[in-house]
Amino acid sequence: MRKLILVVVDGLPARLLEDALGDARLPALSFLAEHGHLGRAVSTFPSLTPVCLSSVATGAHGDVHEIPHLVWYRREEQRIVEYGSSFPAMRAAGARRSIVDTIFEMNARHLGHDAVTLFEALESAGFTTACVNFTCYRGPHPHRATVPGIRRVVYGPRRFFYFNLFQSDVTGAPLAIRHRARGTVDGYAAAVARWLVTRDGFDFFVYYLSDFDYASHLSGPDAALSTLARTDQAIGALFDAAGGGDELLERYDLIVCSDHGQTQVDAAIPLERSLSGVPGVLTTASNRAGMVYRLPDCALDLRALASRVEPNEGVDVALFLEDGHAVARRAGEELRFRPQPGGWETDGDPGVVDHPDGLRRAWSALANPNSGDVLVSAADGFEFTDLGGRHHAGGGSHGSLSAGDSLVPALTVGFEAPIESIVDIAPVVLDRFGVQPPSYQSGARPRLEVGSPAQR
């Protein structure tokens, strides 16, 4: 059985890779494209990294994995969870609490109990899995921190490397967090990848490269080609460790994808401004997606809250639940929809949700028990400020239902597989190893449990 490497390039839009292939600065990606099958896949919603990586790892949208956003309100604890929208946002939510949530609690407590990660499924079948810097890492093997003062144990794949904090093996990799703008995070990942490939130390390896997303946030996706060239060098580290591109493909199959795209943003607005003076509401927003939580003392129903949010500049679509249907409002028009066997029941203007796989992604986000009661997707060119007032105006951002944020490359090398969504990656991987997938991966199965918090 051939081993498999999943390369995830954070924030890489499909169109950008397609246009750049063949460029002399991208020899590794161009080589893989020449030897593989390149298509497009759709991300999840909100198309934000913690949500997306959870979808890649579990083969499910948020209705199953239950990670709703970069920043969200944990109802049972009556507190905000902030995974790192910005340093000021983390300080606003409580810096220590945010660090603990990001490193530990997302996998230990927030990730849905019904979800099964690739690491859990493959390790239980006797395979050795590995990952580097991948933030949805839940697996069966305990790991202690390599940094003094951190006593808490995490559970991940057998070979687990997380920004120098947790390292299952001594690899000699340099410090990851030194000069992020110069590529030290991906440099750390590349050193780990060389060590793993040199030793053929895995059956399945998730190779996560995040520096492109960081650079794209700063300058915009179209201006980040130089960083993509550096990402290509990190992928080239796999070639070097194997003895060349042909030798790599003799040993491994590969999937190269992204978790979400990015689009240029020129303006940022505080989403909470549209609900100023309304008691009993809590707004969590970051990048190009926002959520409104209706608290027990709120006198307005969901329709009224959505009606306050939707007309505002910077808002593309506002979504909420009503009488067992999802309701989407856009530019004064409305679409009601819900899943039916083999498709969707709809009533209203279909143009309200004309985004890639929009109905399924919107429904699954609303069905996430940790989601807000009104979900908001930003209009093109706009972003929502985070808890610390920060934004990426003048650079790139993501999170919305729009095509630019949502369409990602899906390149398979060594085999062909129908990857039309990032939630298709996990079942494809499990099929490659002959492992039975979780029941929720058996097909599109949007769900909404009556009485779930998302219906409040």
In 3D, which of 35, 54, 34 has the Cα closest to residue 44? Answer: 54
DSSP state of 282: E
Neighbours of 232 (CB within 10 A): 22
Tell me the CATH class for 3-263+401-442: alpha beta
Structure tokens, 16: 């950008």
Q: What's the rounded mean pLDDT across residues 139-156?
A: 94
Tell me what pLDDT residue 456 has. Answer: 34
Of the chain, the percentage scoring pLDDT greater than 90 comes to 90
d(CA 397, CA 381): 9
Q: What's the rounded mean pLDDT across residues 147-152?
A: 89
Contact 106, 135 (CB under 8 A): yes
Q: How far is CA 440 from the centre of its chain?
A: 19
Question: 365 φ, ψ to 5°?
Answer: -65, -40
d(CA 443, CA 437): 11
d(CA 105, CA 77): 13
Tell me the CATH class for 267-395: alpha beta
**Confidence grade of residue 452 (pLDDT, cut at 50, 70, 90):** very low
Place of tokens 């660090």: 99
* pLDDT value at 247 more than 50: yes
d(CA 340, CA 445): 10
Q: What's the rounded mean pLDDT across residues 88-109?
A: 96
**Confidence grade of residue 178 (pLDDT, cut at 50, 70, 90):** low
Q: 335-390: per-residue pLDDT in tens?
A: 999 999 989 999 999 999 999 999 999 999 999 999 999 999 999 999 999 999 99
Tell me what pLDDT residue 213 has. Answer: 95
d(CA 401, CA 359): 10
Q: 63-84: per-residue pLDDT in tens?
A: 999 999 999 999 999 999 999 9
Q: Residue 96 contacts by C-beta under 8 Å, 6 or more apart in sequence?
A: none
Neighbours of 308 (CB within 10 A): 19
* pLDDT value at 25 more than 70: yes
**Confidence grade of residue 147 (pLDDT, cut at 50, 70, 90):** confident
Q: Residue 213 contacts by C-beta under 8 Å, 6 or more apart in sequence?
A: 10, 11, 12, 49, 262
Query: Does this chain's domain 3-263+401-442 share its CATH topology with 267-395?
Result: no
Q: 43-67: per-residue pLDDT in tens?
A: 999 999 999 999 999 999 999 999 9
Q: What's the rounded mean pLDDT across residues 181-205?
A: 92
d(CA 32, CA 4): 14
Q: Residue 179 contacts by C-beta under 8 Å, 6 or more apart in sequence?
A: none
Contact 49, 213 (CB under 8 A): yes
DSSP state of 287: B
Tell me what pLDDT residue 226 has. Answer: 87
**Confidence grade of residue 443 (pLDDT, cut at 50, 70, 90):** low
First to last CA, the chain: 48
Q: What is the DSSP string of 8-42?
A: EETT--HHHHHHHTT-TT-HHHHHHHHTEEEEEEE
Contact 335, 327 (CB under 8 A): yes
CA-based torsion, 278, 279, 280, 284: positive or negative: positive
Report domain extents, the chain. Answer: 3-263+401-442, 267-395
* pLDDT value at 175 more than 90: no
Q: Residue 280 contacts by C-beta under 8 Å, 6 or more apart in sequence?
A: 294, 295, 296, 297, 298, 299, 300
Structure tokens, 422: 């990032």
For residue 3, the one-letter residue type is K
Place of tokens 């409580």: 94
Q: Residue 344 contacts by C-beta under 8 Å, 6 or more apart in sequence?
A: 337, 338, 359
- C-alpha separations of 85 from 62, 122, 387, 388 in Å: 19, 31, 8, 9
Tell me what pLDDT residue 445 has. Answer: 42
Tell me what pLDDT residue 455 has. Answer: 34
In 3D, which of 84, 90, 88 has the Cα closest to residue 69? Answer: 84
**Confidence grade of residue 181 (pLDDT, cut at 50, 70, 90):** low
* pLDDT value at 446 more than 80: no
HEC string for 312-368: CCCEEEEEEEECCEEEEEECCEEEEEEEECCEEEEEECHHHHCCCCHHHHHHHHHCC
d(CA 396, CA 67): 23
Tell me what pLDDT residue 451 has. Answer: 36
Tell me what pLDDT residue 447 has. Answer: 40
> How confident is the prediction for the chain on average, in pLDDT?
94
